[in-house]
Amino acid sequence: MLHVPALPGAPGYAGDPAAVLNRVLADAETLAAGGVDGLMLENFGDAPFYPTRVPAGVVAHLTRIAVEVRRHCALPLGINVLRNDGLAALAIAHAVQAEYIRVNVLCGARVTDQGIIEGIAHELLRERRRLGADAIRIFADVNVKHSAPVGPPRSIREEVADLVERARADAVIVTGGGTGQQAGAGDVAQVHDASGTIPVILGSGVRVDNVAALLPHADGIIAGTSLKVDGIVTNPVDAQRVAALVKAVRDSVAS
């Protein structure tokens, strides 16, 4: 994860856009040097998040940062615009030739700290087609963290089926209940069984001490909090933590 500090306009913005960019580039360089396979750029510092569309300034600043990340690092790049602006993420990805985007609520509806967020698959997939950007993959969360279902809970298998068959997600992300919290091994296994040939990605709580148990049911991981100095999500990326997790992943795959 490339967690972008607060951008101009956000309550936590510190007043120096150059410092924001430099922090992201430093994290990108540390992650690349540690052997990760790709990066995901996200406006994590912008809390409290807009539930759907973000202001134009957020899109502009994220695009500028994404351009610089591409210039400095050859790794595949993904874009996530919190809380659920998949259209902005797609636009940025198309402009900078990123490979994938993340969408927290692609279909269905969830109660979140931003209120009720509804799925955007109907708009997003049509916009992707309009742009001729079908090569940009859509990674979609199932039962996304920091949320609860609207109405009676459905089985995770039903949720995955809708994501894959009706919303046409290219990959399914499974998370724990919040940032840095581990997904249950049972949930991961069920998502893997229900997803068919669609890749399953662990989206939160992956650490050196649990990756071997979780990875057999997944095709990849998104790591953020566990790679930061002292495991604190707002801290810079820690090179030693990156190297340790990459080694643990590779050892698990090889065994």
Checking if the pLDDT of 165 tops 90, the result is yes
Tell me the pLDDT tens digit for each residue of 194-231.
999 999 999 988 999 999 988 888 999 999 999 999 99
Cis, bond preceding 199 (omega within 30 deg of 0): no
Checking if the pLDDT of 178 tops 80, the result is no
Rounded Cα distance, 209 and 20, in Å: 31
Kindly list the structural domains of the chain, giving each domain's residue range(s) and its CATH number in brackets, ordered by start.
Answer: 2-254 (3.20.20.70)
Cβ–Cβ under 8 Å, residues 82 and 42: yes
Rounded Cα distance, 6 and 229, in Å: 19
- Identity of residue 121: A
Tell me the pLDDT tens digit for each residue of 11-38.
999 999 999 999 999 999 999 999 999 9
Tell me the pLDDT tens digit for each residue of 75-133.
999 999 999 999 999 999 999 999 999 999 999 999 999 999 999 999 999 999 999 99
Mean pLDDT, the chain, rounded, equals 95
Using the structure block, give the residue that is written with the tokens 């990459």.
246
Which string of b and e fits 106-126 if b means at least 16 CB within 10 Å? bbbebebebeebebbbeebbe
Label residue 42 by pLDDT band (50, 70, 90). very high
180: left (phi over 0), alpha (psi -120 to 50) or beta: left
